[in-house]
């Protein structure tokens, strides 16, 4: 894919697809509930389709009807053994959440993934589940995972890695485990699982102690299905927001965007950098906060972001780094260790690609330092993505300012935002 420089700014109302995290949960949770669920505006991307096909292979009746999903829930303990290994492609969310769900089922399963997913850490989900006596065999801490279904035992589980995927996997295991499982989360992470389970009448109690969140789940209580309207994805919106901020004469309006406070770090960071962003029509649907967002070209300044806020925008550092490259002062983004174990080593790829684009930057420990300058001397216009969708989209936005950039392996965009190129070109972008 080649992203060319644009001259006349970006204008219009790009359509942002449904939130990826909520779309996965909108298939998983209704499938193990009682009753029928209609899911509107779900994300039809490769990652979510992998989750969808997994539940179909486990006997859940899921019909696609006029862009909606109709899911007939089977209850907590009636999934059936799929007749082959479960392939999850690139999707870390599917892998971690399904590991939690499957270890309490009545059958054994094997989870596999593509080469990126197969190189990501899986002990982080297997180890806490083993405290509930789960039987999971990893391949040296990686995929494939061999999961032997059994009756789990409730326990008290500390989650010290800041990860909603780990937390959600353990919550899904606890739902099918007799008695109260107590999950102690030491860092804030996105809370879509808890929000949806409350709406589905799970017996879940959430309390806070200092910085810790305590989630107590009384298991073996059947869930009641409810219709879901998936809001649009803030992580996908971020590419358009930054593109509009850095390109002159730009003005975009994005509708129906999820601004859940455990996910909205990118908006707070950009505002700190002087972004002109307006919010309207704020409302709550299915307990998720939503609003419309307007973005105008802005003069950005650099910022220093503390490690504590990293998990509120962990997926947005690639595109935030592009914004920082056009600011009028340096930025430091601290505590980015988790970026090394995403779909690629994002910290390394941001650094290499920015340097190739002529942006001075460096990594010190797990902190990324960016020193923008007015002049971009491109050293190599080939962008290495290691098949990572967010690196590809972030540097497509970079291309709109300094292109042409030749972005390798850009098909990965289909994992989260298949209509990205089309939407970008509709508002004045030039990507071929």
* Contacts for 329 with CB less than 8 Å, ≥ 6 apart: 301, 302, 372
Options 36-44, 100-108, 161-169, 319-327: segment touching ligand S3P (CB under 6 A): 161-169
Q: Which of residues 77-96 bind ligand S3P (CB under 6 A)?
A: 93
With contact defined as beta carbons under 8 Å apart, do 202 and 223 qualify? yes
* Contacts for 81 with CB less than 8 Å, ≥ 6 apart: 58, 106, 107, 108, 109
Q: Is 194 in the site for ligand S3P (CB under 6 A)?
A: no
Q: Is 168 in the site for ligand S3P (CB under 6 A)?
A: yes
Question: How far apart are alpha carbons 10 and 282 in whole angstroms?
Answer: 24
3-state SS assignment for residue 309: helix
3-state SS assignment for residue 13: coil
Of the residues 233, 315, 386, 388, only one is catalytic, namely 315
Q: Is 315 in the site for ligand S3P (CB under 6 A)?
A: yes
3-state SS assignment for residue 334: coil
Q: Which helix (H) or strand (E) holds 135?
A: strand 135-139
Instruction: Pick the closer one to ligand S3P by CB: 26 or 247.
Output: 26
How buried is 208 (Cβ within 10 angstroms: 0-12 exposed, 13-18 middle, 19+ buried)?
exposed
Instruction: Pick the closer one to ligand S3P by CB: 150 or 259.
Output: 259
Is 315 annotated as catalytic?
A: yes
Instruction: Pick the closer one to ligand S3P by CB: 164 or 405.
Output: 164
Q: CA angle at residue 64 from 58 to 69, to 5 degrees?
A: 80
The minimum distance between CB 314 and ligand S3P, in angstroms, equals 5
Question: How far apart are alpha carbons 355 and 266 in whole angstroms?
Answer: 23
Q: How many other C-beta atoms can be found within 10 angstroms of the C-beta atom of residue 341?
A: 17
Options 26-34, 74-82, 113-121, 162-170: segment touching ligand S3P (CB under 6 A): 162-170
The minimum distance between CB 189 and ligand S3P, in angstroms, equals 5
Binding mask 316-345 vs ligand S3P (x if CB under 6 A, - otherwise)? Answer: ----------------------x-------
Nearest Cα residue to 184 out of 219, 156, 155, 218: 156
Residue labelled with tokens 């995403």: 342
Q: Is 190 in the site for ligand S3P (CB under 6 A)?
A: yes
Instruction: Pick the closer one to ligand S3P by CB: 90 or 181.
Output: 90
With contact defined as beta carbons under 8 Å apart, do 10 and 405 qualify? no
Residue labelled with tokens 């962003």: 277
- The residue nearest ligand S3P at its CB is 21
The minimum distance between CB 409 and ligand S3P, in angstroms, equals 18
Binding mask 275-314 vs ligand S3P (x if CB under 6 A, - otherwise)? Answer: ---------------------------------------x
Of positions 163, 177, 247, 298, contacts ligand S3P by CB under 6 A? 163
Q: Which helix (H) or strand (E) holds 416?
A: none
Task: Tell me the H-state helices in 306-388.
Answer: 317-325, 346-356
Q: Is 164 in the site for ligand S3P (CB under 6 A)?
A: yes
Instruction: Pick the closer one to ligand S3P by CB: 60 or 314.
Output: 314
Q: How many other C-beta atoms can be found within 10 angstroms of the C-beta atom of residue 286?
A: 18
In angstroms, how far apart are the furthest CA atoms of the chain?
A: 62
Options 72-80, 157-165, 263-271, 376-384: segment touching ligand S3P (CB under 6 A): 157-165
- CA dist 67 → 21, 70, 233, 422 (Å): 18, 10, 17, 19
The minimum distance between CB 23 and ligand S3P, in angstroms, equals 9
Q: Is 263 in the site for ligand S3P (CB under 6 A)?
A: no
Instruction: Pick the closer one to ligand S3P by CB: 10 or 290.
Output: 290
DSSP codes of every residue in 151-164? -----EEEE-S--H
Of positions 189, 236, 260, 298, contacts ligand S3P by CB under 6 A? 189
Question: Residue 330, CB half-sphere, CA atoms under 13 Å: how many?
Answer: 8
Of positions 165, 232, 237, 286, contacts ligand S3P by CB under 6 A? 165
Q: Is 134 in the site for ligand S3P (CB under 6 A)?
A: no
Instruction: Pick the closer one to ligand S3P by CB: 247 or 415.
Output: 415
The minimum distance between CB 188 and ligand S3P, in angstroms, equals 11
Question: How far apart are alpha carbons 85 and 101 in whole angstroms?
Answer: 15
Q: Is 21 in the site for ligand S3P (CB under 6 A)?
A: yes
Binding mask 36-75 vs ligand S3P (x if CB under 6 A, - otherwise)? Answer: ----------------------------------------
Q: Is 223 in the site for ligand S3P (CB under 6 A)?
A: no
Residues annotated as catalytic are 315
Where do contacts with ligand S3P occur on this chain (CB under 6 A)? 21, 93, 163-165, 168, 189-190, 314-315, 338
């Amino acid at each position: 894919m080649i992203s060319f420089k644009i001259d006349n700014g970006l204008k219009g109302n790009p359509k942002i697809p449904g939130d990826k995290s909520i779309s996965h949960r909108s298939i998983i949770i209704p499938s193990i509930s009682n009753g029928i669920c209609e899911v509107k505006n779900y994300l039809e991307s490769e990652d979510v389709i992998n989750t969808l096909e997994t539940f179909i292979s486990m006997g859940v009746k899921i019909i696609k009807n006029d862009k909606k999903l109709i899911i007939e829930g089977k209850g907590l303990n009636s999934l059936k053994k799929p007749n082959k290994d479960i392939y999850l492609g690139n999707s870390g969310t599917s892998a971690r959440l399904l590991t939690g769900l499957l270890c309490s089922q009545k059958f054994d399963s094997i989870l596999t993934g593509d080469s990126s997913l197969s190189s990501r850490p899986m002990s982080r989900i297997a180890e806490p589940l083993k405290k509930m006596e789960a039987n999971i065999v990893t391949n040296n801490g990686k995929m494939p995972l061999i999961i032997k279904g059994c009756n789990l035992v409730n326990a008290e589980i500390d989650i010290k890695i800041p990860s909603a995927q780990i937390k959600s996997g353990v919550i899904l295991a606890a739902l099918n485990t007799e008695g109260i499982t107590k999950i102690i989360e030491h860092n804030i992470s996105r809370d879509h699982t808890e929000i949806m389970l409350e709406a589905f009448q799970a017996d879940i109690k959430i309390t806070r102690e200092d910085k810790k969140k305590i989630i107590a789940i009384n298991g073996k209580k059947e869930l009641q299905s409810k219709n879901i309207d998936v809001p649009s994805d803030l992580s996908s919106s971020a590419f358009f927001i930054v593109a509009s901020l850095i390109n002159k004469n730009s003005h975009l309006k994005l509708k129906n965007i999820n601004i859940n406070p455990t996910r909205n770090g990118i908006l707070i960071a950009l505002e700190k950098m002087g972004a002109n962003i307006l919010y309207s029509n704020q409302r709550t649907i299915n307990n998720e906060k939503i609003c419309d967002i307007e973005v105008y070209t802005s003069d950005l300044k650099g910022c220093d972001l503390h490690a504590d806020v990293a998990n509120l925008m962990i997926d947005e550092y690639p595109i935030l780094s592009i914004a920082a490259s056009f600011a009028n002062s340096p930025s430091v983004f601290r505590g980015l260790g988790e970026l090394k174990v995403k779909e690629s080593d994002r910290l390394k790829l941001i650094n290499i690609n920015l340097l190739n684009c002529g942006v001075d930057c460096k990594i010190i420990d797990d902190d990324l330092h960016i020193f923008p300058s007015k002049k971009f001397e491109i050293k190599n216009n080939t962008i290495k993505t290691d098949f990572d969708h967010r690196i590809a989209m972030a540097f497509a936005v970079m291309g709109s300012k300094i292109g042409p950039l030749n972005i390798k392996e850009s098909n990965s965009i289909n994992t989260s935002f298949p209509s990205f190129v089309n939407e970008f070109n509709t508002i004045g972008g030039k990507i071929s």
